[in-house]
Structure 1
Amino acid sequence: MTTTTTRVALVTGGSGGIGRAVCERLAREGYTVAVHYAGNQARAQGVVDAVTALGSKTILVGGDVADEKEMAAAFDAVENEFGGIDVVVNTAGIMLLSPIAALALDDLDRMHRTNIRGTFVVSQQAARRLRRGGALINFSTSVTRLRFPTYGAYVASKAAVEGMTMVLARELRGRDITVNAVAPGPTATPLFLDGKEQAEIDNLAKAAPLERLGTPDDIAETVAFLAGPARWVNGQVLFTNGGLA
């Protein structure tokens, strides 16, 4: 085990578009970064290599976010390697779109398992293990305000994330741990762009007053703020969307 005064962050879904940007941004801020993945180990290893190239210590951990035993093992691995955890960023999630009337209930269950149960499992581990001065950052979506058609089940899962985040912030009274959620707007990630026509992407890019899609780096900047200097921001949902909602 390495004992260090450097802040240690665990990023779930660290191999995804936003997850990778968060890992790299925190590395630039001087964090030790544990990169979590669920399925694509090779892609996650690429993030580990990028974090190492930025001069930060890192470790690769795997596991299903909805499996409490696997996530307990992932948290154990980070603590054993670095002595503790200061920041947990829970970017892991899936998005399956369909009108509510037509949605396959198996898809609803998949999103519930990853987005709700997975966030709950990771939040539970974070609540038990984060050191004083720590931060938990969950992920919602700006579509809870935008209310786009076909996003009903996804929004339902993310509204649940917001609810549990607000409650947990209050349950950790006296621990000096902040709990917040980031709610990105349309962001140019593979998850968002997949299956969309170019005209739809262009329309969404023009909708915000800044007239562009968000980037993973835009979201990572908000995460870095909540992870470090934002000690007086607690129990909040930060809508990071260029003014779209």
Structure 2
Amino acid sequence: MSDILYKYKKILIEDYNLDIKSIIKNLDSTDGNVFNIETYNYQYILKVYDAKEHAMNMENTYDLLKENRLDSPQIIRNKYNQPFTNFKNTYLMLYSFINGSSLFNISLSKKVIINVAQYLRKMHDVKINELKLPVVPFKVPEGKNSLLHFDITKGNIFIENDKIILIDFDDAKVGPALCDVAIALTNLFISRKNGTDINGMNIFLDTYYKNNIEQRQVEEPIIKNIATEWLKYTLKNPKLDKKTIDGLENKLLWIEKIF
């Protein structure tokens, strides 16, 4: 066990009273700040944030989701009833573990697509009040600000007992709801391997817009523009590997053809 993992383990034992069986770095995390925790009874997810503001934003975001009955991981407070523990200018936050299956392992049936669209619509209708999250980092149309997940992928959507559970709000923003719609369409229904699922897109949009055809027709060109801007913004991330870059560039080409 590395020195840093040993220190994290010690904090979890002392501050969270956990009987740690194993602590393993999650290699699927782009930022390298996620660790899988296993005790002799439960599993957890540990995230390490560099900024206190980020950790506080996560606390407020997950509290808002819980208040509005939007299923998501729960923050586990330490023995001091604090949502995170400070360690050498980083902030350790412990989350509940989701036992369901991600959409990577489940076919996108009509029922699943409808449930995802309904979850996002409900989330976007939530009053965000004074939620202090970053704003969308590229130009978008002005309008009502919503809570945005901003990283809607198959890996961040879980199903447990027929419930949709959205995880990993680390990239959450405030901005127009159409940003999440554009990201969801791009990540859920366009792939290099399978091309585009037009039928799935239509089911999603029909559900999200509650069959308001007029509003959908007005906003579809905006969704296309946002999807393009989001992909260009994402491609600037220096941490992306070649496979991911190729996939995103392929999505850009498909976006031009679809709308």
The normalised TM-score by structure 2 is 0.29
Hey, which of these two has a bigger chunk of strand by percent? 2
Larger Rg: 2
Hey, which of these two has a bigger chunk of helix by percent? 1
Q: Comparing both chains, which one has the higher relative contact order based on Cα–Cα distances under 8 Å and sequence gaps of 6 or more? A: 1
The normalised TM-score by structure 1 is 0.31
